[in-house]
Amino acid sequence: MSHEALLGWKSHIFDYQQKVRQSKPPQQVTLFDLAPAHCDPDKIDPLQLEVRSLSFWRVPADSSGDACLYFVVDSAANLILYVGETCRSNKRWKGLHGCKDYIASYQDLHYRYKLQTAVNIAFWWDTPTDRKSRQELEQALIQKWKSPFNKEMWERWGQPFG
């Protein structure tokens, strides 16, 4: 990928995700007062979560971790690159994970063109412990943010780092 193509690719994703961040979701009108869902995908902004190093999993942990949603973000570019879910937050990244290769290729290309990048991970802990519910929320967020490293979005953004 050329320098210009990389900048254009990132710009398209940035523009889309910024529009999502700035637009207000449609409000459903009801006849009854319903308790708001705490797992509303419109209330989760991955770029507002505290970020951690991608090597967080190397730190010794007392347990295999908790259920969560996680987001791989490029903080330097304000991009949400990947949305994932797990029931074992401390174990998910220790083994094989296809996103690791995408991240490495993404960072290598930035390094080649002397472009700044800050790829980190952010966690959202208030997720359902039920796997099906957690995966439904994950899919809703992938569809909302159109995160380019998720396979569901390869047709939209291409697969330049695969």
Q: Are 20 and 79 in contact (CB under 8 A)?
A: no
Decide if 138 is inside a domain: yes
Question: What distance in Å separates the CA atoms of residue 109 and residue 113, rounded to the nearest whole number?
Answer: 6
Number of domains in the chain: 1
Asked whether residue 7 is assigned to any structural domain, the reply reads yes
Tell me the residue range of the domain where 117 lies.
3-22+45-157
In a domain, 36, yes or no: no
| pLDDT one-digit tens code per residue, 30-63 | 555 544 455 788 888 999 999 987 776 555 555 5
**Residue 162 located in a structural domain:** no
Assigned domain for 31 exists: no
Mean pLDDT computed over 78-107? 82
**Residue 53 vs residue 152, higher pLDDT:** 152
Contacts 24+ apart (CB under 8 A), 33-39: 38/126, 39/126, 39/127, 39/128, 39/133, 39/137
Asked whether residue 38 is domain-assigned, the answer is no
